[in-house]
Amino acid sequence: MEALQHFLPQVWFAILGLFLFLYITLDGFDLGVGILSLTSSSEERRSILMTSLGNVWDANETWLVLMGGALFGAFPLAYATILNALYIPASAMIFGLILRAVAFEFRENSDKKTIWNLAFGVGSFLAALGQGFALGSVFEGIAVDGLGHFTGGMWDWLSWRSIIVALTLIQGYVLIGSTYLIMKTTDELQATHYKTAKLAAITTLVGAVFITVSTPIFYAQARDHLFDLPLLYVFGAIPLVGFGLVGLLLRSLSRKQETAPFVWTILLFLMSFLGLGLIIFPYVIPPSITIYQAAASPSALTFMIIFIGFLIPIMLFYNIYNYIVFRGKVTSLHEE
Amino acid sequence: MDFLGDTVVLSRMQFALTAIFHMLWPVLTTGMSIYLIVVEGLWLKTKNISYYHHARFWAKLYVLNFGIGVASGLPMEFQFGTNWAPFSEAVGDFFGSILGFEASMAFALEAGFLGIMLFGWDRVPPVIHYLATIMVGFGANLSTVWILVANSWLQTPAGGDFIKGKFVVSDYFQAIMNPFALNSILHMFLATLETSLFVIGGISAWYILQKRHQEFFTLSFKVAIAVAVAVTPLQIVMGHLSAEQVRHYQPTKLAAMEAQWETIPAGSTADWSLVSLPNDKAQRNDWELKVPQGLGYVLEFKSKLSEPVLGLSAFKPADRPHAIGLIYYSFRMMSGIGFFLAGIMLVSLIQWLRGNLAVDQLAQQKWLLRAWVLAAPLGYIAVESGWIVRCVGRQPWTVYGELRTADMASHLPAAQVLTSLTAFAVLYSSLLVITLFFASKIIRKGPNLELAAPYSSTIVEHQLDSRPVN
A64, pLDDT greater than 50: yes
A230 Cα to chain B: minimum distance (Å): 35
B466, pLDDT greater than 50: no
**Which of B382, B395, B435 is CA-nearest to residue B72?**
B435
Q: Which of B95, B135, B169 has the CB atom closest to A297's CB atom?
A: B169
A335, pLDDT greater than 50: no
B460, pLDDT greater than 80: no
- Which residues from A are below 8 Å from B399, CB to CB? none
Burial A298-323 (b: 16+ CB within 10 A, else e): ebbbbbbbebbeebbeebeebbebbe
Check residue B467 and give its pLDDT: 44
B359 Cα to chain A: minimum distance (Å): 30
Residue B264 near residue B295 (C-beta atoms within 8 A) = yes
- Which residues from B are below 8 Å from A106, CB to CB? 434-435, 438
Q: Do A84 and B119 touch (CB under 8 A)?
A: no
Interface ipTM: 0.84
**Which of A161, A260, A181 is CA-nearest to residue B469?**
A181
Q: Do B63 and A329 touch (CB under 8 A)?
A: no
Domains of chain B, by residue range, sit at 27-178, 191-411, 417-443
Check residue B469 and give its pLDDT: 44
Give the residue from chain B lying closest to A89, CA to CA.
Answer: B82
d(CA A296, CA B97) in angstroms, rounded, equals: 10
- Which residues from A are below 8 Å from B111, CB to CB? 58-59, 61-62
Interior CA angle at B302 toward B301 and B306, to 5°?
A: 105
For residue B399, what is the enclosing H or E element? strand B397-399
B113 Cα to chain A: minimum distance (Å): 7
Q: Which of A90, A189, A318 has the CB atom closest to B112's CB atom?
A: A318
**A311 touching B (Cβ < 8 Å):** yes
A:36-65 residues touching chain B, CB 8 A cutoff: 48, 54-56, 58-59, 61-62, 64-65
Top-confidence range, A118-127, A294-303, B155-164, B448-457: A118-127
* Strand locations in B252-332 (E): 272-279, 284-291
Query: Of residues A42 and B388, which shows the higher confidence score?
Result: B388
B365 Cα to chain A: minimum distance (Å): 32
For residue B454, what is the enclosing H or E element? none
Residue-wise pLDDT tens digits, A260-283 = 999 999 999 999 888 888 888 888
Query: Of residues A165 and B469, which shows the higher confidence score?
Result: A165
Q: Do B100 and A73 touch (CB under 8 A)?
A: yes
Q: What is the mean pLDDT of residues A107-116?
A: 84
Residue-wise pLDDT tens digits, B293-347 = 888 888 888 888 888 888 888 888 889 998 998 999 999 999 999 999 999 999 9
Check residue B6 and give its pLDDT: 87
Residue B174 near residue B158 (C-beta atoms within 8 A) = yes
Q: Do A308 and B101 touch (CB under 8 A)?
A: yes
Q: Of A229-233, A312-316, B347-351, where does mean pLDDT reach its minimum?
A: A229-233
Q: Do A94 and B100 touch (CB under 8 A)?
A: no
**A105 touching B (Cβ < 8 Å):** yes
- Which residues from B are below 8 Å from A105, CB to CB? 63-64, 66-68, 438
Q: Do A68 and B77 touch (CB under 8 A)?
A: yes
Q: Do A331 and B427 touch (CB under 8 A)?
A: no
Check residue A149 and give its pLDDT: 86
Mutate to test the interface with A, among B82, B117, B170, B428 (most CBs of A within 10 A): B82
B203, pLDDT greater than 90: yes
Check residue A331 and give its pLDDT: 66
Give the residue from chain B lying closest to A58, CA to CA.
Answer: B111
Q: Do B438 and A102 touch (CB under 8 A)?
A: no
Query: Where does the pLDDT of residue A222 fall: very low under 50, low under 70, confident under 90, or very high at 90 and above?
Result: low
Check residue B463 and give its pLDDT: 42
Query: Going by C-beta distance under 8 Å and a sequence separation of 6 or more, which residues neighbour residue B466?
Result: A328, A329, A331
B456, pLDDT greater than 60: no
**A154 touching B (Cβ < 8 Å):** yes
Query: Where does the pLDDT of residue B457 fall: very low under 50, low under 70, confident under 90, or very high at 90 and above?
Result: low
Residue-wise pLDDT tens digits, B251-279 = 999 999 988 888 888 888 888 888 888 88
- Which residues from A are below 8 Å from B78, CB to CB? 68, 83, 90, 94
Check residue B465 and give its pLDDT: 45
Residue A123 near residue A100 (C-beta atoms within 8 A) = yes
What is the average pLDDT value for chain B, to the nearest integer? 88
Beta-carbon contacts below 8 Å between A and B = 253
Q: Which of A58, A64, A326 has the CB atom closest to B114's CB atom?
A: A58
Q: Which of A83, A319, A322 has the CB atom closest to B82's CB atom?
A: A83
Residue-wise pLDDT tens digits, B221-250 = 999 999 999 999 999 999 999 999 999 999
Q: Do A150 and B85 touch (CB under 8 A)?
A: yes
Give the residue from chain A lying closest to B59, CA to CA.
Answer: A336
A333, pLDDT greater than 90: no
Check residue B143 and give its pLDDT: 92
- Which residues from A are below 8 Å from B68, CB to CB? 101-102, 105
Neighbours of A146 (CB within 10 A): 8
Instruction: Please say whether the dihedral angle defined by the alpha carbons of residues B244, B248, B249 and B252, taken in this order, is positive or negative.
Output: positive
What is the average pLDDT value for chain A, to the nearest integer? 87
- Which residues from A are below 8 Å from B423, CB to CB? 91, 95
**A158 touching B (Cβ < 8 Å):** no
Check residue B1 and give its pLDDT: 57
Q: Quick one: DSSP state of residue B125?
A: -
Q: What is the mean pLDDT of residues A186-196?
A: 89
Q: Which of A66, A326, A329 has the CB atom closest to B123's CB atom?
A: A326
d(CA A301, CA A12) in angstroms, rounded, equals: 8
- Max distance between CA atoms of chain B, in angstroms, equals 81
Domain A2-325 belongs to what topology?
Formate dehydrogenase/DMSO reductase fold (1.20.1630)
Q: Which of A74, A322, A328 has the CB atom closest to B112's CB atom?
A: A322
Check residue A1 and give its pLDDT: 58
Q: Quick one: DSSP state of residue B118?
A: H
Give the residue from chain A lying closest to B57, CA to CA.
Answer: A336
Q: Which of A84, A106, A296 has the CB atom closest to B85's CB atom?
A: A84
Q: What is the mean pLDDT of residues A94-107?
A: 90
Predicted TM-score (pTM) of this structure: 0.88
- Percent of chain B residues topping a pLDDT of 90: 51
Q: Do A72 and B100 touch (CB under 8 A)?
A: yes
Residue B151 near residue B176 (C-beta atoms within 8 A) = no
Q: Do B119 and A74 touch (CB under 8 A)?
A: no
d(CA B205, CA B369) in angstroms, rounded, equals: 5
Give the residue from chain B lying closest to A148, CA to CA.
Answer: B89
Straight-line distance from the first to the last Cα atom of chain B, in angstroms, rounded to the nearest whole number: 59
Check residue B294 and give its pLDDT: 80
- Percent of chain A residues topping a pLDDT of 70: 94
Query: Of residues B171 and B190, which shows the higher confidence score?
Result: B190
d(CA B39, CA B48) in angstroms, rounded, equals: 10
A206 Cα to chain B: minimum distance (Å): 32
Query: Where does the pLDDT of residue B464 fall: very low under 50, low under 70, confident under 90, or very high at 90 and above?
Result: very low
